[in-house]
Structure 1
């Protein structure tokens, strides 16, 4: 995995822009700790940081295709194309010659052979930019599900782009300005495709390309979810899902570096770990290496809450023993979660104070520990969105609430402990009125609904559950994929997400809701497709989201940090706060009640202090 950046200017000679490109590229050293490079042309400057995973020696970037001393194409590329071997064979048969064994070179030759339509042939997670000196055009490409990030900032004479906003903000032409809509995007709980939060910065939407010419910038969609009639019966559907999973895992086990799985003991991660163990054994390799996150004393002192009825530890150990994985628990304490360096590191990685609190910090620390032993990890992320796993999928009140179901069904903060007042509980009424998170969320909800593809004659529960699935696959999962990408790339770890394979997503999206719940439970199809690989105690476990610490000292430590902010006359976040709510949070109010609110305020404070962000409200 890697970090990419670049600058196209049709009115400047960019061969003298090395210092600017170096500064932009340096912002992403963590994404690519193994190597870096810059390529300069008259009107194009490309930067790259590399995490070497396939063809360690041959895959250096930016990569060129040259012929007779002339550069035909240049690319800065991030990600993995899992079907690159098949594409390479097809291109070789068509006369192409390769000098490396990397998937990057395959992408370049695929573009030479098929033009922009080559995107339809790619299977993987990727974000890349191809510069064509022959036409002086740039093509930006992002994978179908948006697994890898890509942002761009149009300019009067071209574009500035990068894997992360920080790369673009390192350019002297771009200022870190956030307006009321940008704050609403931060404070809401539904990622808007295409929204870059900072003024002037856009996210390239999943399944889209952007072409930059002298005449301007045009965006094109090359993939979207479509409504199709599902004609397979349940047995055939389960069988096809298993076939897809076997193929997907087989492709995603390919790496020239150490590989592992993320294991929580839930159905999703257990299925991935069991399939990986099976695939490695069949290839004469293994055992599979697995990692879990836990908190000191969490299992012994676990308290069920509205979302989690069981701790992860016993189930992760049951699966690890069942498949004989080389397993390690990464155990964290409150001191690590509250350590300023750790909190600052994940905020810097995410570019924005998006408010997952200790869930962000623990994920960063988990990945940091994994990176000591592995470079690639397989995750069960997105199975809940694909197969219908979350509690609110099965809550009629949440499904029919008239807003995003995870907001209606998850409480004030979807993954917060019981009793939380929500992330905006400490913000001032005037700020909340200007930002208008409820109004912004409502507009985005109706905007998303208008996109949902429907089958003619589809009504009632099936129609509504298609809408619910679409909202999760295009809004909710984007928050989690972005979080996982930023936290993992902050330590140079590549995380692959097999359940995001577009073939699986398309197929399951169109299965009837009655089939997705045929055994009366969540994720019926996934359970049936992988049950033979799992111990019953894991296969029958009720869904439990990513864990959060239950140590009461964590909320108390947050309150003390909040007290320091309140006492600092120069704190940039103080003008945004409600004095009465702050007094309650620092006084007799329950620390747990203000936990998520304190996490957001502390994140905002650090963000405003360290990133030079200008608020225009």
Structure 2
């Protein structure tokens, strides 16, 4: 919906330059090109700014943020959507609340004084990240939605807190250092990051389902990080007592919760479209949306020129079955790398596959077609056990009664079914991490391919960074960032899904596959599967309702059976990702062009992040005759990450970001 930014000084008498706040909004103009606003509290050392994408309440003057409460005690800057807001606004109005706008955002200013922070949060349903300053208690609250659909970063420079929707917003402030962190770079090169971390020194993310509370105490900051929600799977002992044999009970429950989640996300003052791949997830959301409104739904589909990765035929069959108006954008895999550098300006992290580029090009296409909002299918695999890693962990760690022969049979079945995922979503060989084993009893399959990639990382780092991470254990760092209480006593499938949600979902799918590449073109994506009411219901589903025999997402298939094409209902999970570079000569040539530019000896020495000999050795390994196809897939990812680190250095370290922000403010005419 928008982009937010702000400054909170340790000294309340410190004045804030309003134009600096506007510059911080301007550098994220793509998140909110429809208008900007700012507000400073000069007697409090506080200032917020906002870049607006108009979706609910199109009156620019009335709905301009930041919002100030009527008593001038609260200052709010909000990004995202609160659903079911009309009902809540009506109830608050009956209790005497007076709203100045028709916006969903404003209800925070009425809920917080009446309920307090802790009791307000359960009423907030949707995808959001917002900053709320409470003048009476002199505290800043940074709040992020339960799954991390919307981003929110912050840093403490010592005398001020700076926050924003994107890293570049923080870097637009001249007092925020732009330095890589050695461990952060390590994780960029191996793909999986530590929850809450970034590639840069002292730059933090608000974790999903968390509130960061910052209070001033005698000229210093007191920072508290509080969790207000988590994906709480039942204990196995509870499952034995409470799981029901009645499949229809669970099927009907999923159908009911998903329908409500979709219908809520169709609420907007602008047209709402759907993303449509050939998977169960987006087909389900399209089917629900089509059933919920009279006019045909607009459906946008990405097609690839590689039959192994293209889902257009099934997507078209689905669109025709519900009478949707389908728009197919066919992408040439060889051209994706032409937009790689621009994509990383928006993702602000490395990407292992050009799906993020494809999604950015799709959002541009949707924007040009006149749409600002789409409903998407992200989150379904996380709730219903859709990824091959989940099936592998369930059968290898959740069925202790399997005989060695039965276990070998399942290993063979999984290996055959998941050939397309090998090296990218599944490790070629078993990887066992001691810290993760101790935490959850096994190393989750979703992390294994990236832990396997980690062995290459030290040799790729420049000498000074390599020295800083000597002896570093990435698996241990990830394990320490997870909440062990949410893993203890749970079924292996629950454990695997929980770890994915905390790492792969938030750090990748919702970042470079979601918000960042959608909002790059001022386009808001709404994932109904990540509605927390639906998620809480799905946490109670017995493992056998999620994965039944060879069928993943069993309960969703059954719940959506009436609207899914037969071919889709019967098909196994398909890999929705762009083809790996080495599988296509044109794409590999395009990657080599980028590599020649960013991974030359001169470029590496200038940035000082990578080691030229290590980079050269990795390319030699990739092209060696004895290197298997699965290993090449893994090394494709590492090469993408190496190029990505160099691009990040160019964008955010070598570039004078404060000057760029000033330039953009001038370009857009955003002046105080």
**Structure 1 residues 281-360: aligned runs within 5 Å:** 284=294, 286-296=295-305, 298-299=306-307, 302=308, 311-334=310-333, 336-339=335-338, 342-352=339-349, 354-360=350-356
1:213 alignment partner, SS class: strand
Match of 1:441 in 2: 475
CA contact (8 A) 1:152 1:202 kept: yes
CA contact (8 A) 1:389 1:522 kept: yes
1:131 alignment partner, SS class: strand
Q: 1:596 to 1:35 in 2, by over 3 A?
A: same
Measured in 2, the distance between the counterparts of 1:437 and 1:85 equals 54
Match of 1:417 in 2: none
Are residue 569 (structure 1) and residue 609 (structure 2) matched?
no
Are residue 210 (structure 1) and residue 212 (structure 2) matched?
yes
Match of 1:154 in 2: 156
Measured in 2, the distance between the counterparts of 1:574 and 1:564 equals 14
Measured in 2, the distance between the counterparts of 1:277 and 1:22 equals 40
Q: 1:399 to 1:576 in 2, by over 3 A?
A: farther
Match of 2:614 in 1: 578
**Structure 1 residues 247-258: aligned runs within 5 Å:** 247-258=260-271
Equivalent residue in structure 2 for 1:143, among 142, 145, 156 = 145
CA contact (8 A) 1:320 1:327 kept: yes
More helix by percentage = 2
Equivalent residue in structure 1 for 2:69, among 41, 45, 65 = 65
CA contact (8 A) 1:384 1:390 kept: yes
Cα deviation digits, residues 378-413 of structure 1 (max 9, x gap) = 111111111000112112599555323113378967
Are residue 552 (structure 1) and residue 570 (structure 2) matched?
no
Equivalent residue in structure 1 for 2:510, among 481, 484, 509 = 481
Q: 1:613 to 1:192 in 2, by over 3 A?
A: farther
Match of 1:405 in 2: 445
Following superposition, the deviation at residue 222 of structure 1 comes to 1.3
Following superposition, the deviation at residue 78 of structure 1 comes to 0.3
Are residue 496 (structure 1) and residue 526 (structure 2) matched?
yes
Equivalent residue in structure 2 for 1:596, among 631, 637, 640 = 637
**TM-score normalized with structure 1 length:** 0.87
1:544 alignment partner, SS class: coil
1:611 alignment partner, SS class: helix
**Structure 1 residues 169-180: aligned runs within 5 Å:** 169-180=171-182
Following superposition, the deviation at residue 335 of structure 1 comes to 5.2
2:503 alignment partner, SS class: helix
1:48 alignment partner, SS class: strand
Q: Could you list the runs of 5+ residues in structure 2 that have no partner in the other structure?
A: 398-431, 433-441, 656-672
CA contact (8 A) 2:333 2:578 kept: no
Following superposition, the deviation at residue 454 of structure 1 comes to 4.5
Number of paired residues?
581
Measured in 1, the distance between the counterparts of 2:615 and 2:24 equals 40
Match of 1:20 in 2: 20
Select the structure with the greater relative contact order (CA < 8 A; seq sep ≥ 6): 2
1:218 alignment partner, SS class: strand
CA contact (8 A) 2:5 2:48 kept: yes
Match of 2:427 in 1: none
CA contact (8 A) 1:395 1:409 kept: no
Following superposition, the deviation at residue 14 of structure 1 comes to 5.1
Measured in 1, the distance between the counterparts of 2:623 and 2:487 equals 51
Equivalent residue in structure 1 for 2:388, among 387, 391, 394 = 391
Measured in 2, the distance between the counterparts of 1:168 and 1:63 equals 21
Q: 1:397 to 1:378 in 2, by over 3 A?
A: closer
Following superposition, the deviation at residue 425 of structure 1 comes to 10
Measured in 2, the distance between the counterparts of 1:561 and 1:158 equals 38
Q: 1:585 to 1:32 in 2, by over 3 A?
A: farther
Q: 1:199 to 1:559 in 2, by over 3 A?
A: same
Range with bigger deviation, 72-81 or 148-157? 148-157
CA contact (8 A) 1:426 1:582 kept: no
Q: Could you list the runs of 5+ residues in structure 1 that have no partner in the other structure?
A: 303-307, 414-420
What RMSD over aligned residues (CA atoms) do the two structures have, in Å?
A: 2.8
Cα deviation digits, residues 44-77 of structure 1 (max 9, x gap) = 110100111100113211112224xxx2322110
Match of 2:419 in 1: none
Following superposition, the deviation at residue 85 of structure 1 comes to 1.1
Following superposition, the deviation at residue 377 of structure 1 comes to 0.7
Match of 2:362 in 1: 366
Following superposition, the deviation at residue 190 of structure 1 comes to 3.0
Measured in 1, the distance between the counterparts of 2:141 and 2:615 equals 49
1:214 alignment partner, SS class: strand
Following superposition, the deviation at residue 356 of structure 1 comes to 2.6
2:102 alignment partner, SS class: coil
Measured in 1, the distance between the counterparts of 2:364 and 2:564 equals 28
Q: 1:188 to 1:597 in 2, by over 3 A?
A: closer
Measured in 1, the distance between the counterparts of 2:251 and 2:466 equals 47
Match of 1:305 in 2: none
Measured in 2, the distance between the counterparts of 1:203 and 1:410 equals 21
Following superposition, the deviation at residue 520 of structure 1 comes to 4.1
Match of 2:563 in 1: 533
